[in-house]
Amino acid sequence: MFLRPYWYVACASAQLGAAPRAARVLDQDIVVFRGDGGRPRALADRCCHRGVKLSLGRVTGGELACGYHGWRFDGGGACVHIPSLAPGRRIPERCGVPAFPCVEQDGYVWVWLGGGEGAPPPAPSIDGFAAHRWDQGSVEHQCAALKGLENNLDWCHPVFAHPWTHGQFYIALLRGLREQLLEMRVTPDGMTLRGPVREDGGAPGGRSTETLLSFTLPDRVEVRSLGGPSRRIVLHFVPTAPDRCRMEWLVARALPFGPRVRFRRDEPAILRQDRLLLESAERTAAEHGALGEHHVEADAPTLLLRRIVGWAARGEWEQRRASLPERRVVRVVS
Ligand code: FES
Ligand SMILES: [Fe+2]
């Protein structure tokens, strides 16, 4: 059900200081900590002595010491010290905990839980990360990651879901709802949705509010404004359980002042508006089962995203991609 052979955000770089940190990713409890030279490391969050969470321990000399009896583990998960052992006694054979590939890049600590032979591919970079200053945050969602992803390719919801927080709400307030054309495209690792466009795909002209939304497997959506003031949002919906996820958000600040990344503990109103709606839909599904959905043309981007994720989960994305039209224009009112 999870898309395993991918890198996932374990936490923001700003959240990983001197103490170890628990992170749930793909229904697994992991602990991340800064090992030798501050390099992030990821281990299973379960001490091999008596099962206590290693995230309750502390980091000493680049090693992670369990908070119960002080057994120490290196960045590769090997147990390297047991304080209770008398001189001359040896650490048991193969004593240790599973370790996972872990890297730090573009404001995040990434972990690979996909297994496989050899080294995993390079962690995904965030295009243009160094060119902006960002606000960053992390919000637990009581809904499946797929719901969060779908929501961000759902062009027609902001007018209703985001009163006073979203540009589309204000535009509709001033001009009323209008017919618009949107362009969906399939990409090698996901899809894009651009709008509003002309029938031939060109920009609409005038004072453009053209926006490009993109989905990249397994869990990233990005929002970019193509005309008007530059706007850049990067979201990751990290699955923490089949019906839970953690949204890691990055929003480029308009003014080029302050630190490169500023971590915020609050939940911006616009994100909270989405979360409450998505959690409501998740509860409905849990209480009443799949009642079915009715779809209209405006749901085409959401349904395409759902299909891409489904194929990727079954390992069929590469071969099925060719069956999709590369481009499709969708007509909506928004
Ligand atoms: S439970 Fe971890 S050292 Fe004993
Ligand atoms: Fe939204």
Asked whether the beta carbons of 219 and 314 are under 8 A apart, the reply is no
Residues with Cβ within 8 Å of 114's Cβ and at least 6 positions away in sequence, in order, are 4, 5, 6, 120
Domain presence at residue 281: yes
Amino acid (one-letter) located at 333: V
Q: Are residues 77 and 138 in the same domain?
A: no
Ligand 1 center to 86 CA (angstroms): 17
Count of Cβ atoms closer than 10 Å to residue 219 Cβ: 26
Please state the rounded mean pLDDT for residues 31-41: 97
Crossing angle of helices 145-152 and 300-313, in 10° steps, is 140
Chosen domain end from 53, 85, 112: 112
User: For the segment 212-267, what is each residue's pLDDT rounded down to a tens digit?
Assistant: 999 999 999 999 988 666 789 999 999 999 999 999 999 999 888 889 999 999 99
Task: Say how many Å lie between the CA of residue 151 and the centre of ligand 2.
Answer: 6
Among 112, 144, 175, the domain-final residue is: 112
Q: Which helix (H) or strand (E) holds 182?
A: strand 179-187
| CA–CA separation, 133 and 252 (whole Å) | 6
Pocket of ligand 1 (CB under 6 A): 47, 49-50, 52, 66, 68-71
Alpha carbons 219 and 148: distance in angstroms, whole number: 9
Q: Is residue 165 part of a domain?
A: yes
Same structural domain for residues 295 and 208?
A: yes
* Cα(82) to centroid(ligand 1), Å: 9
In a domain, 123, yes or no: no
Provide the CA 65 distance to its chain's centre, in angstroms. Answer: 29
In tens, the pLDDT along 1-11 reads: 899 999 999 99
- Boundary-marking domain end, from 83, 112, 141: 112
Judge contact between 99 and 75, C-beta under 8 A: yes
**Do 154 and 266 belong together in one domain?**
yes
On whether residue 279 sits in a domain, the answer given is yes
Q: What is the domain-level CATH number for residue 221?
A: 3.90.380.10
pLDDT of residue 287: 85
The token pair at 149 is 């992803």
Domain containing 22 equals 7-112
Decide if pLDDT at 208 tops 60. no
Q: Is residue 145 part of a domain?
A: yes
Note whether 56 and 67 are within 8 A (CB). Answer: yes
- Number of structural domains (the chain) is 2
Locate 212 and state its tokens.
């490009």
Among residues 101, 100, 98, which one has the least CA distance to residue 121? 101
- pLDDT tens digit string along 124-178? 999 989 999 999 999 999 999 999 999 999 999 999 999 999 989 999 999 999 9
Residue 120 counted as domain residue: no
On whether residue 121 sits in a domain, the answer given is no
**42 within 8 A of 100, measured Cβ to Cβ:** yes
Note whether 193 and 315 are same-domain residues: yes
Please indicate, yes or no, whether residues 249 and 290 belong to a single structural domain of this protein. Answer: yes
Nearest ligand atom owner, CA of 155: 2
Residues 139 and 106 in one domain: no
pLDDT of residue 268: 95
Give 190's Cβ-side CA count (13 Å radius).
Answer: 16
- Does 102 share its domain with 224? no
Q: Which atom of ligand 1 is nearest to the CA of 71?
A: 3
Q: Is the pLDDT of residue 191 over 70?
A: yes
Q: Is 58 among the domain residues?
A: yes
Considering the domain architecture, whether residues 55 and 193 belong to the same structural domain is answered as: no
- 299 and 179 share one domain: yes
Write the CA distances from 50 to 45, 53, 64, integer angstroms: 12, 9, 15
- For ligand 1, atom 3: residue with the closest CA: 69
β pairing state of 40-44 and 102-105: unpaired
Q: Could you tell me if 277 and 192 lie in one domain?
A: yes
Model pLDDT for residues 59-70, shown as the tens digit of each residue: 999 999 999 999
Interval 89-126: pLDDT, tens: 999 999 999 999 999 999 999 999 999 888 999 999 99
Length of the chain: 334
The 10 Å Cβ neighbour count of residue 107 is 19
SS3 annotation, 250-261: EEECCCCCCCCE
Judged by phi (left if over 0) then psi (alpha if -120 to 50, else beta), residue 95 lies in beta
145 and 281, same structural domain? yes
Q: Report the atom number in ligand 1 closest to the C-alpha of 51.
A: 1
Is there a single domain that holds both residue 72 and residue 135? no
Provide φ and ψ at 140, rounded to 5°.
-70, 140
